């Protein structure tokens, strides 16, 4: 009897210790699955960004530099895209339709660009253009981060709109974490806010700060590859790749410092420490952080009633674990995490369609649609 | 006249060697380490062990050591489709990272000689220049 109880204490300790590093709630595998998926379009290596013209007419970026228009599952490359600098994690990134696309045909896209500046390499750029059938016209550069660098990592980038006529987009720290993210006179490691015509809003937080980049809205970010407007609150939600064990969800607020790399829950890939601080008074805490890292990309709220019990939940792609993650949020807290379509592949993008379905960009596959069972 | 031609050729030859000097193997490995940390470490990890079933190992990898030219082609043009690495099948995609040929030579020299891997010859930029795309088609 004594042996048995010490064994169970030992088992308890082993279980406890093995989970001690993980941040709750722990990921669950659902017992009941009442949905499946269908492939909308295949043959896209890295479907990085997507947006809907209508339910059966979508624009999909392929990281290597192709923009597809997909009508009823048939993909056609769109011509007239600006020159793209393919390097590491960079390429053709996000795409977003202007809120008044139906009347002005304007689209926005972020991409890696080597234009401007004497330095070799590239940095993230935001363009607008008009889509006429399968052709882009009147391409305009709205923002180009500097300086160019040959670093391959952390370009961001996602584009979202708020309800007050602003465009937000993200740029990662460009592999220069000790220089860029905490310095508002430099690009990189920032969320930016512009008016829809590319001009700087007069009430941006750093417009009156000397030498600042006036488009900056928040800073101290590492590599944001997911961003969405919360349809219930109108707030912009973002997630970013942390170092090992430091992926975060943040709710973006004007002028706020989100801490990278001064505070983080993560460590270097090599296992060494970046900082011993996870919190400081003048830096925001994440809304949630993932330990272990899931390598998040793409982000959407399910606002429709299309799926049983999913209304209001947050969905995030996991590149590392190859599933879509469902996060249930109650009273400003993540209370449950669940795998959706486990082992589906590297989920790069998640978007809610006009009719309320969740569409995924999955690497090596293409665009998938989650379909509830009848 | 003969002497002049000889000096001329030696000078040109010497200049060519100076101007188009390949890094030493040691220098190339050092440069390759930086490239690795920038472009490769996210998937193949610091230990070169990769992630079983998802990202193949580079450390003690039979595929890498037995398919050096194909590995160069994979970095240069991207690699897709089924490969078998240490008796495990991988069916993913590695897209081209946009590295130039000198960077590819450097990172190859690094991964061929790190984590206990050892490869006698040095991969040169010239060799990478000549690697054709059809190796990975």
Give the ipTM. 0.77
The side-by-side arrangement of strands in the sheet containing A323-330 is A27-28, A333-340, A323-330, A314-318, A296-301
Task: Say if A165 is an interface residue toward chain B (CB within 8 Å).
Answer: no
pLDDT at A4: 55
Residue B9 domain-assigned (yes or no):
no
Residue B125 domain-assigned (yes or no):
yes
pLDDT at A17: 46
Among the listed residues A16, A98, A154, A241, the single catalytic one is A154
pLDDT at B50: 94
Phi then psi for residue A281, to 5 deg, are -60, -35
Q: Does B113 have pLDDT greater than 90?
A: yes
The percentage of chain A sitting over the pLDDT mark of 90, rounded to a whole number, equals: 90
User: What's the pLDDT band for A10 if we cut at 50, 70, 90?
Assistant: low
Interface test with B, best of A269, A292, A361, A365 (most B CBs within 10 A): A269
Higher pLDDT, A20 or A87: A87
For residue A25, is the peptide bond before it cis, meaning its omega torsion is within 30 degrees of 0?
A: yes
Residue B39 domain-assigned (yes or no):
yes
Q: What is the pLDDT of residues A184-231, one digit of tens each?
A: 999 999 999 999 999 999 999 999 999 999 999 999 999 999 999 999
| Chain B residues inside the 8 Å CB shell of A151 | 38
Task: Say if A43 is an interface residue toward chain B (CB within 8 Å).
Answer: no
pLDDT at A118: 80
A154 is catalytic: yes
pLDDT at B8: 78
Residue that is written with structure tokens 């305009």 in the block: A140
Chain B nearest CA to A125, separation (Å): 18
Q: What is the pLDDT of residues A262-297, one digit of tens each?
A: 999 999 877 889 999 999 999 999 999 999 999 999
Identify the structural domains of chain A with CATH numbers, from first to last: 33-372 (2.120.10.30)
Pair B34, A150: CB distance under 8 Å: no
Q: Do B95 and A175 touch (CB under 8 A)?
A: no
User: What's the pLDDT band for A242 if we cut at 50, 70, 90?
Assistant: very high
Q: Does A6 have pLDDT greater than 70?
A: no
State the burial class of residue A197 (Cβ atoms within 10 Å of its Cβ: 0-12, 13-18, 19+): exposed
Provide the number of structural domains found in chain B.
1
pLDDT at A246: 92
pLDDT at B9: 74
Interface test with A, best of B31, B34, B39, B106 (most A CBs within 10 A): B39
Average pLDDT over residues A320-335: 96
Residue that is written with structure tokens 């010859």 in the block: B121
**Residue B47 is encoded by which pair of tokens?**
């230990």
Domain range for B106:
22-135
**Residue B99 is encoded by which pair of tokens?**
């590295």
Q: What's chain A's average pLDDT?
A: 94
Residue B10 domain-assigned (yes or no):
no
User: What's the pLDDT band for B20 if we cut at 50, 70, 90?
Assistant: low
Q: What is the pTM of this model?
A: 0.89
Higher pLDDT, A340 or B53: A340
pLDDT at A27: 96
Pair B105, B123: CB distance under 8 Å: yes
Pair A177, A260: CB distance under 8 Å: yes
Which CATH number is B32's domain given? 1.10.760.10
Q: Does A157 have pLDDT greater than 90?
A: yes
Chain A nearest CA to B105, separation (Å): 16
Residue B13 domain-assigned (yes or no):
no
Chain A nearest CA to B74, separation (Å): 14
pLDDT at A7: 54
For the ranges A20-34, A232-246, A264-278, the one whose mean pLDDT is highest: A232-246
10 Å Cβ neighbour count for A31? 5
Residue B14 domain-assigned (yes or no):
no
Residue B4 domain-assigned (yes or no):
no
Residue B90 domain-assigned (yes or no):
yes
Q: Which member of B92, B93, B97 has the closest CB to residue A88? A: B97
Q: Does B53 have pLDDT greater than 50?
A: yes
| Chain A residues inside the 8 Å CB shell of B81 | none
Chain A nearest CA to B2, separation (Å): 45
């Amino acid at each position: 009897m004594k042996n048995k109880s010490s064994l169970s204490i030992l088992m308890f300790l082993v279980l406890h210790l093995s989970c001690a590093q993980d941040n709750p709630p722990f990921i669950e595998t659902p017992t009941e699955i009442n949905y499946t998926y269908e492939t909308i379009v295949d043959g896209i290596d890295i479907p990085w960004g997507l947006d809907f013209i209508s339910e059966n007419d979508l624009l999909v970026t392929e990281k290597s530099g192709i923009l597809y228009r997909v009508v009823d599952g048939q993909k056609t490359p769109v011509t007239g895209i600006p020159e793209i600098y393919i390097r590491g994690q960079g390429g053709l990134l996000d795409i977003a339709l202007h809120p008044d696309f139906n009347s002005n045909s304007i689209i926005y896209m972020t991409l890696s660009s080597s234009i401007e500046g004497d330095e070799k390499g590239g940095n993230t750029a935001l363009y607008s253009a008009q889509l006429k059938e399968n052709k882009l016209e009147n391409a305009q550069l709205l923002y180009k981060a500097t300086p160019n660098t040959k670093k391959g990592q952390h370009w961001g980038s996602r584009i979202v709109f708020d309800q007050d006529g602003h465009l937000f987009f993200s740029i990662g720290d460009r592999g220069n974490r000790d220089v860029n993210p905490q310095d508002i006179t430099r690009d990189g490691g920032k969320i930016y806010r512009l008016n829809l015509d590319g001009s700087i809003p007069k009430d941006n937080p750093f417009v009156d700060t000397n030498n600042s980049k006036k488009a900056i809205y928040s800073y101290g970010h590492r590599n944001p590859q997911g961003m969405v407007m919360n349809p219930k609150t109108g707030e912009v939600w973002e997630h970013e790749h942390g170092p090992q064990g430091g992926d975060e969800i943040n709710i973006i607020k004007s002028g706020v410092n989100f801490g990278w790399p001064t505070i983080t829950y993560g460590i270097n890939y090599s296992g060494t420490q970046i900082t011993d601080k996870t919190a400081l008074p003048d830096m925001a805490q994440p809304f949630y952080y993932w330990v272990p890292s899931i390598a998040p990309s793409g982000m959407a709220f399910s606002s429709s009633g299309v799926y049983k019990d999913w209304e209001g939940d947050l969905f995030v792609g996991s590149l590392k674990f190859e599933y879509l993650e469902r996060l249930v949020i109650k009273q400003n807290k993540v209370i449950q995490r669940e795998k959706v379509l486990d082992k589906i592949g590297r989920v790069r993008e998640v978007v809610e369609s006009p009719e309320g379905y969740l569409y995924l960009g999955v690497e090596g596959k293409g665009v998938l649609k989650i379909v509830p069972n009848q | 006249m003969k002497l002049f031609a000889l000096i001329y050729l030696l000078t040109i030859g010497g200049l060519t060697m100076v101007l188009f000097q390949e890094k030493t193997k040691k220098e190339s490995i050092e440069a390759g380490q930086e490239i690795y940390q920038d472009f490769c470490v996210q998937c193949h990890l610091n230990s070169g062990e990769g992630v079983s079933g998802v990202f193949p190992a580079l450390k003690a990898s039979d595929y890498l050591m037995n398919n050096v030219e194909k590995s160069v082609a994979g970095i240069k043009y991207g690699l897709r489709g089924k490969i078998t690495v240490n008796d495990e099948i991988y069916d993913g995609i590695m897209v081209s990272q946009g590295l130039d040929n000198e960077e590819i030579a450097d990172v190859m020299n690094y991964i061929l000689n790190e984590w206990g891997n050892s490869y006698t010859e040095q991969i040169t930029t010239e060799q990478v220049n000549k690697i054709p795309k059809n190796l990975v088609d």
